[in-house]
Amino acid sequence: MTRSVALRAFFLFTILSILAAATGMASHSDIAEAMFVIAASLSAVLLFFAMTVQTPAPIPVRVQRRR
């Protein structure tokens, strides 16, 4: 998983957790609260993963000129 994939998934789970929190606040449903906890923990893990992944460094390659 690359940094951009982890960040996209983080934003997706953040939106999902916001929707679950709004649903849980409006209906006082236990399932919505559980979805909020699951989505929030997944988004925290993905944010941690996105921040710890190193950017790929270019590999030095020798180029020979043709004459």
For the chain, give every domain's residue range. Answer: 3-52
Residue 33 tokens read as: 């609260």
Asked whether the beta carbons of 50 and 10 are under 8 A apart, the reply is yes
Average pLDDT over every residue of 9-18: 82
Percentage above 90 pLDDT, the chain: 0
Q: What is the pLDDT of residue 57?
A: 75
pLDDT for the residue numbered 18: 82
23 near 29, Cβ under 8 Å? yes
Binned at pLDDT 50, 70 and 90, residue 59 comes out as: confident
Whether the per-residue pLDDT at 1 is higher than 80: the answer is no
Per-residue pLDDT band for 5 (boundaries 50, 70, 90) equals confident
